[in-house]
Structure 1
Amino acid sequence: MKTEAESLTLEQLQQQNARLEQQNAELSAKLKWYEEQFRLAQQKRFGASSEKTHPDQLELNLFNEAEVLATPQGQEPEMEKVTYERRKTNGKREADLSKLQVETVTYTLEEGEQICQCCGGSLHEMSTETRSEIGIVPPQVKVIRHVRQVYACRHCERNELQTPIITAPMPKPVYPGSLASPSILAYVMCQKYVDSLQI
Structure 2
Amino acid sequence: MVTISRTEYESQQAELTELKLQNQWLLEQLGLAKKRQFGVSSERLQEGLMDQLSLMANEAEAYAYGTKNATAEQVAVKAHARKRQSGNVLDIVPEGTPTEVVEHRLSEEERICDVCGAVMEEIGKEVRRSLKMEPARFWIQEDVYYTYACKQCEAETGEGNLRKTPRQPTLCPGSFASPEAVAHIMTQKYVMYSPLYRLEQEFQRQGLKLSRQTMANWILQASDTWAAAGV
TM-score (norm 2): 0.33
Structure exhibiting the larger radius of gyration computed from Cα positions: 1
TM-score (norm 1): 0.38
More helix by share: 2
